[in-house]
Amino acid sequence: MSDTSTTTYKSYWLAWFCLLLITLAMVFIGSKPVLAIGMMVKALIIALFFMHLAFEKKSLIYSVGVGILVTTAVLVVLLVPDGRAM
């Protein structure tokens, strides 16, 4: 972790506001692609700001980002057939 990183309350509030906007878009639009993309973006914002991943090396950021994308893809592929069966 870099010693020169500075986290202010402003960045936390900005991240929270972005999460709020994405959540509202997910609720009001409600289509499945919007829900999946919103879920991925929200997970990435939480990891970057609240878990301080933004101050790490780029390779770690990319590996976590790819992990979030793969996990989302696996969950969607596994859960969509169950949702259609109901």
pLDDT digits (tens, 9 = 90+) for 29-39: 988 788 888 88
The number of beta carbons lying within 10 Å of the beta carbon of residue 49 is: 19
What pLDDT, on the 0 to 100 scale, is given for residue 35? 85
pLDDT digits (tens, 9 = 90+) for 3-62: 555 668 888 999 999 999 999 999 999 887 888 888 888 988 998 888 888 888 999 989
DSSP the chain: --TT----HHHHHHHHHHHHHHHHHHHHH--HHHHHHHHHHHHHHIIIIIS-GGGS-HHHHHHHHHHHHHHHHHHHHHHHHHHHH-
What pLDDT, on the 0 to 100 scale, is given for residue 86? 64
What pLDDT, on the 0 to 100 scale, is given for residue 4? 53
